[in-house]
Amino acid sequence: MKILILEDDAKVARFVRQALTEDGYTVDLCTTGKEAIDHAMSGIYNLIILDWMVPDVDGVAACREIRRSGIAAPILMLTARGEIKERVLGLDAGADDYLTKPFELDELLARVRALVRRTAGIARLKCGDLEIDRIIRRVTLLGKPLTLTSREYALLVRLANRADQTVTRTDLIAHVWETSFDPGSNLVEVHVSRLREKLGAHRWMIETVRGTGYRLRTRPDAP
């Protein structure tokens, strides 16, 4: 299990890394938000711990950017800011849990185990011959990896989450492009077309529902 930690306090960082390493995890440390975002994009982490107040990009902004890119690894906010409104802000940014400094080591380890355990059963999406590992952002078709852009990946995950159901164009724009404004262009259609090309002989999996949106089919004869 690999964990990424964003923490600019060297003493706290060493303390947390040692505790997690002793608990069996492999830990990478970052001291700036930008560095944490760059590391997170690799998709290799099972858990990400973000301190709120750090140089460059703060933890909340880093959390938003990580989620925007489609990374599904659980995120734990670790910060001295404990007011309710601050907790809400962190959770709304995409964090899964919140721990206020100073904290007890046993509680930190328990929260880490709970987050990893909670996501273990939902990390993989299997839709017919297509499988998506949302922790490491890996997509395979018949066991062979597909190379997708961040937007193509986010689009595919949104469709896969509702496999064999129609997903409206409005829904895709809201969740993949994160806007409620429909530009009226062929933006969605272009990305769907590119996804179909990469699916090759399985292009039938993405069905156009005329006038509504799209549906990811798990088998050719799906009604």
pLDDT score, position 110: 92
Distance CA 137, CA 150 (A): 9
Same domain, 113 and 128: no
| Amino acid letter, residue 28 | D
**What letter would DSSP give residue 45?**
-
Domain closes at, from 88, 120, 152: 120
Tally of domains in the chain: 2
pLDDT score, position 35: 93
Residue 134 confidence (pLDDT) above 60: yes
Do residues 203 and 156 make contact, with C-beta atoms less than 8 angstroms apart?
Answer: no
Same domain, 6 and 99: yes
Residues 36-63, mean pLDDT to the nearest whole number: 89
Residues 9-34, mean pLDDT to the nearest whole number: 90
pLDDT score, position 182: 63
Residues 145-160, mean pLDDT to the nearest whole number: 90
Do residues 28 and 4 make contact, with C-beta atoms less than 8 angstroms apart?
Answer: yes
Same domain, 189 and 85: no
pLDDT score, position 121: 57
pTM for the full predicted model: 0.59
In a domain? residue 134: yes
Region of 18 (left: φ > 0; alpha: ψ -120 to 50; beta: rest) is alpha
Q: What is the CATH number of the domain that holds 53?
A: 3.40.50.2300
pLDDT score, position 44: 79
Same domain, 9 and 62: yes
pLDDT score, position 23: 84
Nearest to 75 by CA among 99, 58, 96: 96
Q: What is the mean pLDDT of the chain?
A: 87
Domain closes at, from 120, 139, 161: 120
In a domain? residue 20: yes
- Identify which has the larger pLDDT, 158 or 1: 158
pLDDT score, position 223: 62
Residue range 56-106, pLDDT digits in tens: 899 999 999 998 887 888 999 988 776 777 778 888 889 999 898 888 889
pLDDT score, position 222: 62
